[in-house]
Amino acid sequence: MSDTSIAIGSRRPRLRALLREIPYDRPKTRLLDIDAARGLAILLVVVGHVVARDLPADNEWYGQMKHTIYLFHMPLFMVLTGITFALSLPRFEAWSAVARFSLRRVERLFIPYVVFGLLVLVGKWAASSFLYVDNMPKGWTADLFVLLFFPASSVAGFLWFIYVLSIYLLIVPALFQMFGRRPMLVLIIGVALQFGAWPQLFMLDRVVEYLPFFAIGMLLWIYRDAWARVTPGVLWSSSALFAALLAMSPWLGLPKWLLGVASVPAVLAWAQNLPAGPQAWLAVLGRASLAIYLMNTIAIGLTKGVMLKVLPWDGVNFLLYFPMLTLAGIAAPILILQLATRYFPSGARYIR
Judge whether 333 and 288 are in contact, CB under 8 Å: yes
- C-alpha closest to that of 246 among 41, 38, 72: 72
Per-residue confidence (pLDDT) for residue 130, from 0 to 100: 62
- C-alpha closest to that of 19 among 165, 185, 191, 130: 185
pTM here is 0.91
Judge whether 334 and 292 are in contact, CB under 8 Å: yes
Judge whether 111 and 47 are in contact, CB under 8 Å: no
Per-residue confidence (pLDDT) for residue 276, from 0 to 100: 92
In whole angstroms, give the CA distance from residue 302 to residue 308.
10
Region of residue 311 (phi > 0: left; psi between -120 and 50: alpha; otherwise: beta)? beta
Per-residue confidence (pLDDT) for residue 16, from 0 to 100: 65
In whole angstroms, give the CA distance from residue 301 to residue 327.
12
Q: What residues have CB less than 8 Å from 24, skipping those under 6 apart? A: 91
Per-residue confidence of the chain (352 residues) as pLDDT tens digits? 555 444 444 456 666 667 789 998 888 788 999 999 999 999 999 999 999 878 999 999 999 999 999 999 999 999 999 999 999 999 998 999 999 999 999 999 999 999 998 888 887 777 666 666 666 667 778 888 989 999 988 888 889 999 999 999 999 999 999 999 999 999 999 999 999 899 999 999 999 999 999 999 999 999 999 898 888 899 999 999 999 999 999 899 899 999 999 999 999 999 999 999 999 999 999 999 999 999 999 999 899 989 998 999 999 999 999 999 999 999 999 999 999 999 999 888 899 8
In whole angstroms, give the CA distance from residue 34 to residue 78.
13
Cβ burial, residue 254 (10 Å; 0-12/13-18/19+): middle
Judge whether 112 and 350 are in contact, CB under 8 Å: yes
Radius of gyration for the chain, computed over Cα atoms and rounded to the nearest angstrom: 22
Per-residue confidence (pLDDT) for residue 8, from 0 to 100: 44
- C-alpha closest to that of 203 among 175, 171, 230: 171
CA distances 20 to 181, 214, 343, Å, are 8, 16, 43
Per-residue confidence (pLDDT) for residue 24, from 0 to 100: 87
Judge whether 167 and 203 are in contact, CB under 8 Å: yes
HEC string of the chain equals CCHHHHHHHHHHHHHHHHCCCCCCCCCCCCCHHHHHHHHHHHHHHHHHHCCCCCCCCCCHHHHHHHHHHHCCHHHHHHHHHHHHHHHCCCCCCCHHHHHHHHHHHHHHHHHHHHHHHHHHHHHHHHHCCCCCCCCCCCCHHHHHHHHHHCHHHCCCHHHHHHHHHHHHHHHHHHHHHHHCCCHHHHHHHHHHHCCCCCCCHHHHHHHHHHHHHHHHHHHHHHCHHHHCCCCHHHHHHHHHHHHHHHHHHHHHCCCHHHHHHHHHHHHHHHHHHCCHHHHHHHHHHHHCHHHHHHHHHHHHHHHHHHHHCCCCCCHHHHHHHHHHHHHHHHHHHHHHHHHHHHHCHHHHCCCC
Chain-centroid distance of CA 287 in Å reads 13
Per-residue confidence (pLDDT) for residue 206, from 0 to 100: 96
